[in-house]
Amino acid sequence: MADIARIANVSKPTVSRVLSGSPLVTQATRDHVLEVARAHGYAVNRNAQKLRQTRTDTISVVLDFGSHRGGRIADPFIFELLAGVAEALAVRKLDLLLSPPAAQDERAYQDQVNARVVDGFIFLGQGERDPMLRDLAKLGVPFVVWGAVDPTEPYCAVGSDNRLGGRLAGEYFLRSGRKDWLFIGDTNHAEIAMRHDGLSEATHGKSASIRVLRTGDMSYTSTLNDTAAYLATHPAPDAVFAFSDTAAMAVIAAFKEQGLRAPEDFALVGYNNIPPAAAFTPAITTVEQETHIAGAILVEKLMQKIEGGRAASTVLPTRLIVRET
């Protein structure tokens, strides 16, 4: 800064204000100082600059790799959600640090905040780490979660009404005259367990039964293999509720191998309403989560936490999109 100030014939504090984006300097002075800096090869060292500030202006987004085989995530839903978060952070001029969930200990996340690596965390998916998230909340670390919204949880979560989604699927099966249902998904995940609970609510007082197929993980391949193995040893159901649209596509493929097609032989409902679901053959009936607003809400809730405020959990609008299956 001293060199730039000398060359530009301004004071060092003026250079500091220009480089920090202060409104206390005129646009002409700002342009002059920045032109001198660029002409002489100077650039702001953002990491060094952050050490002088109270915040890092960096948010860590933590994906749920544990729910996918070999740490591979291929579900378009996750990337739609990630894109929404990235866009919302960009509007606030905040950096996104994409982090693998290597830390299973809540203290490791606290250390990242204390060491001023990041200002807070957005967890995309609870998976099976709810106990860790509960402990992290007790430490006062700023974070929000995309996942199941439960009033008993001590942390802020944003997600769809999973129970309602399950109930809507069940009511659709009943209207279609289906009585032998198969629920596909790992109920160790809070979101998926709520969807199963909602599906069960729809059977109350009705002559319908539910079987459960727990998949090895949330990948297309695992769902395809598990469904095919199930159909080889069990009678085919007349309705299937899959934990995601990607899983629903795997279900269609597995049933097709047995000569069964939707909707002639079975009704099918997926979850998430990813764009390929509408273009798939047959087009998949699904439960929609409004992911286009989820990213902005997650970022807004996290900033409330970072600024010392309270952030309440939010349930997004949830509705059934009826298509061919």
Q: How far is CA 183 from CA 87, 188, 242, 307, in A?
A: 34, 14, 6, 42
Q: Can you spell out the DSSP letters for 102-162?
A: ---SHHHHHHHHHTTS-SEEEEE--TT-HHHHHHHHHTT--EEEES---TT-SSEEEEE-H
Structure tokens at 290: 């409004």
CATH 1.10.1840.10 fits 2-44, yes or no: no
The residue type found at 234 is H
The residue type found at 179 is K
Q: In angstroms, rounded to a whole number, what is the distance separating the alpha carbons of residues 302 and 310? A: 9
Q: Where in the chain is the domain with CATH 3.40.50.2300?
A: 58-159+291-317, 162-288
Residue with tokens 């997600």: 159
Torsion sign, CA atoms 151, 128, 299, 113: positive
Q: Where in the chain is the domain with CATH 1.10.260.40?
A: 2-44
pLDDT tens per residue across span 202-244: 999 999 999 999 987 888 999 999 999 999 999 999 999 999 9
pLDDT tens per residue across span 3-54: 999 999 999 999 888 887 788 889 999 999 999 988 888 877 666 655 555 6
Under CATH, domain 58-159+291-317 is a member of which superfamily? Response regulator (3.40.50.2300)
pTM, two decimal places: 0.81
- Segment 291-295 shows an average pLDDT of 88
Q: How far is CA 132 from CA 123, 136, 253, 298, 307, in A?
A: 12, 6, 36, 19, 23
**By C-alpha distance, which of 34, 8, 7 is closest to 22?**
34
Under CATH, domain 162-288 is a member of which superfamily? Response regulator (3.40.50.2300)
